[in-house]
Amino acid sequence: MWAIFGAISSLFLGTYDVFKKWSLRDNAVIPVLFFSTVTSALLFVPLLLLSHFAPEEFGHSLFFIPSIPIEQHGYIFLKAVIVTSSWLFAYFAMKHLPITIVTPIRATGPVWTLVGAIVIYSEHLSPLQWVGLSVTLLFFYLFSLAGKTEGIHFRTNKWVLFIIAGTLLGAVSGLYDKFLIRHFDRMAVQAWFSIYQVVLLLPVLLFLWYPRRKKNTPFQWRWSIPFIGLFLVTADFLYFYALSLDGSLISVISALRRGGVIITFALGAVLFREKNIRRKFVLLFGILAGILLLLLGS
């Protein structure tokens, strides 16, 4: 059952990336990130109010958010720091790179999550998983060679380094999620980390972006911006719920979540009319085949 929720989460996550790319085209990165995050946080405000003022009536709901001690807020705040850092890297990369370059790099996230799961949670690889890991890394290398045909050199391009950094931080966040869901209520984690992201991004908006806004790309409001937050909250709700179920494996759920890159890649190729789609799709398919082997070997 937890695998099904992980797969549905990937559908929302793939569409979320398309809304993100559409919002970032010729637009200022930091306010887009801030207002999409505000949307996510606002979705939890009525749930927090209902949970606080009507705990008896609302307490049995899947959306109930219990009160948590101050120590737990510290752990959740750390998650917000990790995710916000990952998103800052990823959003800047998404603006400056073709979406058909970004999505295959992001698709390798489960590999790094798996490596961390082996080290931290003592998850063991089967022979089939080792094959899957090798296939994924091979096609990622071939993909880096393909990027050169568009003048994108993976070793020297700043935005490629940004998306790699964002992906690695995302893998760290995935591993930390497993710890959080084992010890804390999943709704409390999702609600408060969304709110703490707004707290972290507000000074970035006010003191870093706003004073220099006239020197950089101007901000344009687009209705796709709140959909970033809406689709992400839905994807994360399903993701956290999957993690909370007995027997769930973070390495497998992370791999399922990355299946959403097919939606991102396909919609992005159509909407943004990017180059070398067939070649990129073959290489993306190779990366996903490696991830599928990781899944089947679990």
Rounded CA separation 253/238 (Å):
11
**CA gap 39, 232 in Å, rounded:** 10
Compute the distance between CA of residue 26 and CA of residue 85 in angstroms, rounded to an integer: 22
Q: Are 203 and 25 in contact (CB under 8 A)?
A: no
pLDDT value for 268: 73
**Neighbouring residues of 115: CB distance < 8 A, sequence distance ≥ 6:** none
Residue with the bigger pLDDT between 35 and 154: it is 35
Share of the chain above pLDDT 70, in %: 92
Q: pLDDT grade, residue 41 (50/70/90)?
A: very high
Q: How confident is the model at residue 87 (pLDDT cuts 50, 70, 90)?
A: very high
Instruction: Please report which confidence band the pLDDT of residue 116 belongs to, taking 50, 70 and 90 as the band edges.
Output: confident
Identify the residue with better confidence: 193 or 123. Answer: 193
> What confidence score (pLDDT) does residue 57 get?
81
Q: Assess whether pLDDT exceeds 90 at residue 74.
A: yes
**pLDDT at 60 (0 to 100):** 81
Q: Where residue 266 falls among pLDDT bands split at 50, 70, 90?
A: confident
What is the rounded average pLDDT of the residues 18-42?
Answer: 94
pLDDT of residue 228: 94
How high is the mean pLDDT of the chain? 84
The sign of the torsion formed by the CA atoms of 26, 31, 35, 38 equals: positive
Q: Are 79 and 180 in contact (CB under 8 A)?
A: yes
C-alpha distances in angstroms, 203 versus 34, 90, 153, 197, 206? 10, 19, 33, 11, 5
Q: How many domains does the chain have?
A: 1
CA distance 236 to 221: 25
Q: DSSP 3-state assignment of 16? A: helix
Report the range out of 61-75, 128-142, 240-254 with the highest average pLDDT: 61-75
pTM exceeds 0.85 = no
Nearest to 199 by CA among 38, 88, 69, 40: 38
Phi, psi at 41, each rounded to 5°: -65, -40
Q: Does the pLDDT value for residue 133 go beyond 80?
A: no
CA dist., res. 110 & res. 35, Å (int): 28
Residue 44: pLDDT band (50, 70, 90) is: very high
Boundaries of domain holding 134: 2-296
